Structure 1
Amino acid sequence: MSKSEISHLRQDNQNLKVKLSGTQNDCQAEIDHLRYIIKSKNEEIERLEGTAKALRETIDQQQDAIISIKMQPLPQRSYDSYDNFQNVASTSKAKDNFTTTKYTAFHLEDTAKTIEELKLSPAPNVIVLHSLTNSLKDNSADNCVTKLDNIVQTTNKKWPSCKVVISLATVRKDKDTYNNQVHLVNALVRNHFIKYNFVSLCDNDNLATRGKPIDRFIKDDGFHLTDQGVARLASNIKRSCEEILNCQPSTKSSKKPYNYNNQRYGYYYGDYWGDRWN
């Protein structure tokens, strides 16, 4: 091979190295750009998740306010505040002066803390625990029952004369697995709390048909209640409290009162209502 040919090959090799180096630089620049895009997307996802969480909490609070309004049997009564859940019984006992107070706690852990910190005197006539559904996201059904039992026992120790109404978890339509968890925890709660004579379980099965959610009661997110669902929930709570307090049902319907000596709905948060008559 002549010197000129060798020189030519060396030049070609050098050109290939330069071209390869340029290609590598271009690829690295593209990789860096993609990493930047991924990082930006992740930050955007985190921001959206934070916004979604805040919106869910806002929706929960607004549903609380809606339920508060729906729960008012007689609008002319005087109440603690606009956001309070009002009394759910309406006989001679409830027609006199009464007070209803709502405390918001989104999970069983929050509910336990709220009950621990409450200082109520005189003791409330009835406390409604509305705490299951949200807690199912992060706890097993068995764990939910254990935590709920601790809350009930704490409540009974603080106010021995107080009745407790437990709200069963509401059905869901976003995922069958989630809805199965709802039915499982409700069954476990029914079986576990039958031993307490001061506990009544408020059932929300009328939000579903054969265990499947009724569309008009559940929003498109498959989790939160529509206005109609909230109205039915409020009616369920009202009947449960009427029964455990041995109050005549306030409904004007001639139908036999619904037997809600079961458990109540534990939808997206854990709420506690303390009701006290003066």
Structure 2
Amino acid sequence: MEQKLRAINTEGLTIELGIGKLEDEYPNECFPVKFKPRNGKAKYSRYEEIDENLYEETAKMVCFYTSEKRLFYWIKACNILYYDNVSNIEGIDVKWSDNPQTWEDPNGGNSITIELLDQENLLYNVTIFISTGTIRVQGHYYQMFSRHHFPILKGLVSQITTRAEETREETRVKEVTSSTPIQYSPEPALNVSHLKVLQSTLIQSIDKLQISIENNTSSIIDAISKTCAEKIIKTTNTESLQQDNIVLKSQLQQEKEAFILKSRQLEESSKHLKQMLSDTRDELNRANSQVEYLSNKLSNQREELEALDTSNRELKCKLSEVQDELINMKSGILSESTARDNYKTVGASSNDNEQILPSVLLLGTSNVRNINEKVLTSAVSTTKYVTYTIEDATKFIGSCTSTYNAIILHILTNNIKNDEPNECVTKLQKLVAEIKTKWPATKLILSLTTPRNDGHQTASQLVNAMVKQQLLLEKEENVSFIEHHNMFDVSGGGPNLSLLSEDGYHLNERGVSKLAVNLRNAIHTTLKLGLPVNNQFNRSRSRQKNRFRGFPRGRGSYGRGSYNK
């Protein structure tokens, strides 16, 4: 059925252009002298042209408008196409209805609805609004109308317009000939005076038309005038002259109609584009205002975050100092208790020449190469291997057969340069799971990345945050991490450049020393050995006078690296 509708063309139509029943049903009194303004999206529609982008695709609708003079021609074209032709197709039903059934006011809300149905299913409907000249098409097959049936209707309107002009001209000529009969000379000579009158009348009509057409049509009028003059000189029969005159005026009228139609289309297109430009400017102004508001709001929030960040760093520093002091105090108590216990049991263990120390495995990047594991702390036996990446550390763990009380991993620095943050965390999680499976009782210490100034600072901070969040969420037993707060600039929160080498991510001698202190403190805290004590005897002698003052704290020998479990 759809193929039959698409196959309709002008050549196969039954076309009756003469005056018929339709003129009686819709006399001139039914139509307004001037249309009301269109509203909604219809005011952006084009003059006898369809813009399929005017409405959203889900609306399945298109529309256009025509002039007061041509509205009846469109109604007649729809009558020819749908009522006289499409309704004859088997399986297709056409319903024509007036809304309301009786039209009293031509400026009221009168309309004509034409429904095209296929077995009671609506293909599309055509609504002609009499008061505005808007013609709207809606339905699932609206594109069939805009791409196939609309060009046919437009051609029919052109034929109806031409036929109407010819009818009016024939009526006017009949009136002229009936009032002034033509006298023929007995000789075949040309009636020059009558021809001059016709020529004068024709030229005056052409001059009047020339006023309403732009300058670019003057050449067409001149050519037509010249042709008319030549035909008048050569014509010997008055009736043939009148017929030629009608044909020429019809051609001129068609040119005029085409020119006016094109002008209206260009004018409406210009109005449409201007309106779209105005709307776009308004939207841009609103968007700019919104962006400015959001920018100011973001700036204020950024300032608040910076203030909160500064306050947070200060609080962290104070908390770190308090924690260091508390750890040192506990370490002093533990060290004194251990010393007394060792003194009491020295006789019992006199036969043992060597003391069994806890074993620690340190795996790290080139930043741990310069750490002397032999003197890192005397409380444990430390074994160090340089593994540049997480992959290298994974291979080492897979081949390792020894058992350790604690394992320290400082292996994130190089992976951050080549992997995304989530990839780094995923690889580290797999390695942690492998270690926990192989040595369930071993304490695992994850050393977070140290400060850097090589363009990967943000990724480094993000990885640190993700590792901490993962550990806090999963609450892994025997797994802890080290934060190197004492290696950042306290004032700005950025990296302490005095601890970095020229490349921006390798540590210099001072940086390695800070890292070693943080690793040593983590070992003692994880294995509950107590922090190493300097000047023990001096502290013991002064303990009664100023208790615990001999313990280094704050920025002393052990630094302020924060250890979290």
Give, in whole Å, the separation in 2 of the partners of 1:163 and 1:171: 25
Q: Report Cα offsets for 1:17-38 as digits up to 9, x if no partner.
A: xxxxxxxxxxxxxxxxxxxxxx
| Post-superposition offset of 1:254 | 3.4
Is the counterpart of residue 153 in structure 1 residue 456 in structure 2? no
Verify: 1:141 aligned to 2:445, yes or no.
Answer: no
496, 515, 530: which one aligns with 1:233 = 515
What's 1:111 paired with?
393
The question of 1:219 aligning with 2:509 is answered no
CA contact (8 A) 2:369 2:386 kept: no
**CA offsets per residue over residues 204-246 of structure 1, 9 Å max, x none?**
1211124311121011211111100000000001111111111
Could you report, residue by residue, the CA deviation over 1:60-88 in whole angstroms, capped at 9, with x for unpaired residues? 65x5342126x715xxxxxxxxxxxxxx4
- The aligned counterpart of 1:191 is 469
Q: Is the 8 A contact 2:518 2:561 kept in 1?
A: no
Deviation at 1:251, TM superposition (A): 4.4
1:273 aligns to what? Answer: none
Q: 1:207 to 1:250 in 2, by over 3 A?
A: same
Aligned to 1:204: 484
Letter matched to residue 254 of structure 1? P
Determine helix, strand or coil for the equivalent of 2:413: helix
Output aligned runs, 1:49-60, within 5 Å: none
Q: Report the equivalent of 1:4.
A: none
Aligned equivalents of 2:426 and 2:510: distance in 1?
32
Deviation of 1:260 (Å): 3.1
CA-to-partner distance for each residue in 1:150-207, whole Å, 9 max, x for gaps? 11111111111100010101111122xx101111000001111221121110111211
CA contact (8 A) 2:485 2:562 kept: no
Given that residues 452 and 504 in structure 2 are in contact (C-alpha distance below 8 angstroms), is that contact kept between their aligned partners in structure 1? yes
1:167: which partner in 2? 447
What is the distance in 2 between the residues matched to 1:64 and 1:133? Answer: 11
Q: Which amino acid aligns with 1:237?
A: L
Task: Report the Cα distance in structure 2 between the residues aligned to 1:231 and 1:260, rounded to whole angstroms.
Answer: 15
The change in CA–CA distance for 1:251 and 1:227 in structure 2 (over 3 A counts) is farther
Given that residues 205 and 211 in structure 1 are in contact (C-alpha distance below 8 angstroms), is that contact kept between their aligned partners in structure 2? Answer: no
Quote the Cα distance in structure 2 between the aligned partners of 1:220 and 1:103. 25
The DSSP-based 3-state class of the residue aligned with 1:230 is helix
Q: Quick one: distance in 2 between partners of 1:251 and 1:189? A: 32
- Give 1:126's aligned residue: 406
- Residue 530 of structure 2 corresponds to which residue in structure 1? 248
Which amino acid counterpart does residue 562 of structure 2 have in structure 1?
Answer: Y
Q: Does the 8 Å CA contact 1:136/1:181 hold for their aligned counterparts?
A: yes
Alignment-mate amino acid for residue 458 of structure 2: N
Question: Shift of the alpha carbon at 1:259?
Answer: 6.8
Q: Which position in structure 1 is the counterpart of 2:281?
A: none
d(CA) in 2 for partners of 1:132, 1:106? 9
Q: Give the match for residue 179 of structure 1.
A: 457
Structure 2 gaps of 5+ residues are 1-364, 535-550
- Kindly indicate whether the alpha-carbon contact (under 8 Å) linking 1:171 and 1:211 is maintained by their aligned counterparts in 2: no
Q: Aligned letter for 1:66?
A: N
Distance 1:157 1:250, change over 3 A: same
Q: Is the 8 A contact 2:486 2:561 kept in 1?
A: no
Bigger relative contact order (CA 8 A; separation at least 6): 1
Identity of aligned residues (%): 32
CA distance in 2, matches of 1:174, 1:146: 23
| Letter in structure 1 aligned against 2:524 | E
Asked if 1:64 corresponds to 2:346, the answer is no
Aligned residue for 1:255, secondary structure, equals: coil
2:430 counterpart SS class:
helix
- CA gap of 1:151–1:134, structure 2 versus 1, over 3 A, is same
Counterpart in 2 of 1:262?
A: 564
Q: Which consecutive residues of structure 1, in runs of 5 or more, have no partner in the other structure? A: 1-59, 74-87, 264-278
Report the secondary structure of 2:383's partner residue. strand
CA contact (8 A) 2:409 2:447 kept: yes
Q: One-letter code of the match for 2:434?
A: T
Q: In structure 2, what residue type is equivalent to 1:243?
A: T
Q: 1:259 to 1:204 in 2, by over 3 A?
A: closer
C-alpha distance in 1 between matches for 2:487 and 2:387: 23
- How far did residue 125 of structure 1 move? 0.6
Q: Deviations over 1:123-167 (max 9, x none)?
A: 201000011010001111111111111111111111111000101
One-letter identity of the residue aligned with 1:255? R
- TM-score after normalising by structure 1: 0.59
SS at match of 1:166: strand
Q: Secondary structure at the match of 1:133?
A: coil
Aligned residue in 1 for 2:222: none
Partner of 1:80: none
Q: Distance in 2 between matches of 1:102 and 1:154?
A: 19
Tell whether the 8 Å contact from 2:482 to 2:522 is kept in structure 1 after alignment. yes
Equivalent-residue separation in structure 2 for 1:171 and 1:259 (angstroms): 12
